[in-house]
């Protein structure tokens, strides 16, 4: 970590990086908090920004920004959102000229995987999909004890296999890998081993219908226990 305070953008009081000013004005860095990485990590910022000078990176970033722009419509009442993420995925993939999409999905979201796969095929994409249980390798292979199996000690339980999911999509040379509902940790491994461009259509949340933010939205009521301090 470079000199200076660690960045804590999540607690920023005045978001100088997102000022409400005119196009010809300049953001006032002097008003940034002392933990602001724009002040303390200017060298890292500068290095990172040179990456956008690579034509393919710049074009990718431009397309992503255009996609963001197109997710809103301008109405007499003001800005309104219009695109669900699945549509965003389709539109962005088309913008990038992607033809072959890879779906790495959790077995718990098999129905969703089939529906998404059909939607993408109907939009003209080739879809390769790989279930998390691919390989049918028992959990004992990663030293899971009988009492640590969800279905019980006497049951066969296939381990989730995100590395194989990633390697299959790598070898299929998909233009874009899409993660659908992988568990925490399994998703981390998938991301680590995936060597093609990757995005997430949904994350796993067994309790909230795969909407982890629901627990934050109800932090002052049903999920107040999350706000309590613990060691």
Interface residue list for ligand SF4 (CB under 6 A): 9, 12, 15-17, 32-33, 35-38
DSSP letter (8 states) at residue 183: P
- Give whichever of 40 and 164 is closer to ligand SF4, judged by the CB atom: 40
> C-beta of 48: minimal distance to ligand SF4 in Å?
13
Dihedral sign for Cα 186, 187, 191, 195, please: positive
> C-beta of 19: minimal distance to ligand SF4 in Å?
9
- Give whichever of 36 and 128 is closer to ligand SF4, judged by the CB atom: 36
**Under a CB-based contact definition with an 8 Å cutoff, are residues 169 and 128 in contact?**
yes
List all residues 6 or more positions away from 202 whose beta carbon is below 8 Å from its beta carbon: 109, 112, 179, 180, 181, 210
Return phi, psi of residue 78, to 5°: 120, -170
- Give whichever of 45 and 66 is closer to ligand SF4, judged by the CB atom: 45
> C-beta of 46: minimal distance to ligand SF4 in Å?
14
Largest CA distance in the chain: 69
> C-beta of 29: minimal distance to ligand SF4 in Å?
8
- Give whichever of 3 and 80 is closer to ligand SF4, judged by the CB atom: 3
């Amino acid at each position: 970590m470079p000199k200076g305070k660690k960045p804590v953008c999540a607690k920023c009081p005045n978001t100088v990086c997102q000022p409400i000013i005119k196009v010809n004005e300049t953001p006032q860095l002097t008003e940034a908090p002392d933990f602001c990485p724009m002040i303390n990590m200017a060298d890292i910022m500068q290095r990172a920004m040179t990456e956008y000078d690579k034509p393919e990176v710049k074009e990718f970033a431009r397309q992503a920004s255009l996609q963001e722009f197109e997710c809103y419509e301008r109405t007499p009442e003001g800005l309104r959102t219009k695109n669900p993420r699945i549509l965003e995925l389709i539109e962005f993939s088309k913008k990038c000229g992607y033809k072959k999409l890879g779906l790495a999905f959790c077995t718990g979201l098999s129905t969703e995987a089939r529906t998404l796969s059909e939607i993408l095929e109907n939009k003209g994409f080739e879809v390769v999909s790989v279930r998390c249980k691919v390989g049918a390798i028992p959990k004992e292979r990663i030293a899971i004890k009988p009492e640590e199996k969800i279905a019980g000690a006497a049951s066969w339980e296939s381990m989730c296999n995100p590395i194989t999911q990633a390697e299959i999509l790598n070898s299929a040379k998909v233009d874009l890998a899409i993660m659908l509902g992988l568990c925490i940790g399994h998703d981390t491994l998938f991301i680590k081993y995936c060597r093609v461009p990757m995005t997430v259509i949904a994350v796993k949340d067994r309790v909230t219908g795969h909407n982890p933010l629901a627990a934050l939205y109800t932090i002052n009521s049903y999920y107040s226990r999350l706000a309590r301090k613990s060691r």
